[in-house]
Structure 1
Amino acid sequence: MRIARSLGIVQGQTGGAFNGTSAITRQDLMVVTARALQLVGKLEKNGKRADLTRFADSGDISGYAADSIGLLTAAGLVYGDGARINPIGRATRAEAAVLMYRIYQIPD
């Protein structure tokens, strides 16, 4: 976690604590994924962002997560679940696996 923090991939919760035993929200998974992909040049920081208002629950997206979710959605790595993105829901292992699979499909 120290390396991920030093690289800016994770920042921790309020006060900088990481709380590694708690579940991760979908929006936080998308934030750390976007930061990691930007770090290795697989996602442009200033790239195209999707219009998140198409999701019925876009108002639930935290301000710090909106850019990351917009980038991942525009890149076709995140689709949401129908009309919802469920940003504050817990990320499942299946969702993480699908995200990893889509990342592996990004051409070099």
Structure 2
Amino acid sequence: MQLIDVQQWRTLAAGLPHWHYQEAGGGSICRELLFDDFVQAFSFMTRVALLAERQGHHPDWWNAYNRVRIELSTHDVGGLTSRDLALAQAIDRAYLAMVA
């Protein structure tokens, strides 16, 4: 699986405007999402957990009350890959469906 570097990310970033590239550790992308309350945030995390499990790809994430911060990288290869981009797109769709 091919790693995506910062130059490639700059080209791909338009499709994931809420995600931010982090160069440390081989590269990852992260996003922070806000919800009305803890229950909505936890419900979203449950939804994403099921998406991630189906893809066999699991995020690093943190939750504090109504905030969820998600960081994606492919640990097997030590950086950002197309698997992360696909999961980020699925996460974005799930978030829009929940807050729309």
Higher strand share: 2
* Structure 2 length-normalised TM: 0.35
* Structure 1 length-normalised TM: 0.34
